[in-house]
Amino acid sequence: MTFSLATIRVDGTPTPVLSMDGKLYRITDLAPEVLAPNPAGGLMTVFAHWNTAEPVLQRAADDLTDGVLTCAPVNAPGLEDWLTPLQYPGKVICTGANYYDHVTQDGGHVGFTKEDNIPVFFLKPPTTTLVGQGKSVRYPVQSSKFDYELELAFVIGKRGRRIPVEQARDYVAGYTIGLDLSARDWQRHPKHLVKFDLFGGKVFDDSCPLGPGIVPARFVDDTNLQLRFRLNGELRQNANTKDMIWSVPELIARISEHVTLEPGDVVLTGTPAGVGLSTGIWTKVGDRLDGEIDGLGSLQVEIIDDHPESDGT
């Protein structure tokens, strides 16, 4: 039975849950042993021991479906009760320029060939950039060109370094939806010495919505997933992961040449064409962002004003 893993707030406490058939079940009720090594770690504990935790969770989901196991679901949470699934991964690694149409249409790189290039990556600090389903994203006050990027994200399930492409899928625990929000005018600031600044343009607070849940890799074909992004209900991005330049295994192999991948690490895989960089349509305070990926659900956030009184908190 297909399921996903999420974190919601229950009675004010972040609680890891298993989502199935539209209902949410506390993992402590279904399979407490998967949290036993470190109950306070939530889903980070589950992914730290993914090879042993996954079959236990799968068995619990199957038993629940077959009526062998009975368990009361938690009350349906409001959007305000959803949290980012992982609190918090050691690394959030983002991939730039990984869809052919984004590179040619949005980036203007006509005649681009995969063979003559390598993927580009950058990091986002997890504790200050990750936000969950239904949350508010503070508009970066330093920007007037605030952009969206819908991306497939995956979660690492075991530690690895210098991972061969042919073994890379063994390291993927699950998939979720990510938004790589960007301040384009700071990404390409005229006063920056080298005219390109991924720190200013990519790593501001709330710049990486993630969720709603994580679907185990066994249920997902990452080579053929449709992505749809809507801004205030209007379709702005509509593409398929088959148009990626570098595949998930190729990204893992390249990343692990430079850094050790650890359980719970999150990798965003790049965005297709249709972003504001090419259309000139930027997000503003009050906008609703909705990213949808086949089989993974829908991730929704709203842009709010960044009030001065929040400084220093």
Q: Do the beta carbons of residue 168 and residue 249 sit within 8 Å?
A: yes
Pairing of strands 208-216, 172-179: antiparallel
Specify whether the CB–CB gap between 274 and 239 falls below 8 A.
Answer: yes
- Tell me 278's DSSP state: H
User: pTM for this structure?
Assistant: 0.95
How does pLDDT run along the chain (313 residues), one tens digit per residue? Answer: 899 999 999 999 999 999 999 999 999 999 999 999 999 999 999 999 999 999 999 999 999 999 999 999 998 888 889 999 999 999 999 999 999 888 887 656 667 788 888 999 999 999 999 999 999 999 998 899 999 999 999 999 999 999 999 999 999 999 999 999 999 998 877 777 777 788 888 999 999 999 999 999 999 999 999 999 999 999 999 999 999 999 999 999 999 999 999 999 999 999 999 999 989 999 999 999 999 999 999 999 999 998 765 554 3
Could you tell me which CATH class the domain 84-310 is placed in?
alpha beta
Domain spans in the chain, listed from the N-terminal domain onward: 4-80, 84-310
Closest C-alpha among 167, 162, 288 to residue 230: 288
Distances (CA, A) of 275 to 49, 175, 229, 268, 279: 37, 22, 9, 16, 6
Beta strands in 2-149 (DSSP E): 4-10, 13-20, 23-26, 82-83, 92-96, 120-124, 130-131, 136-138, 146-147
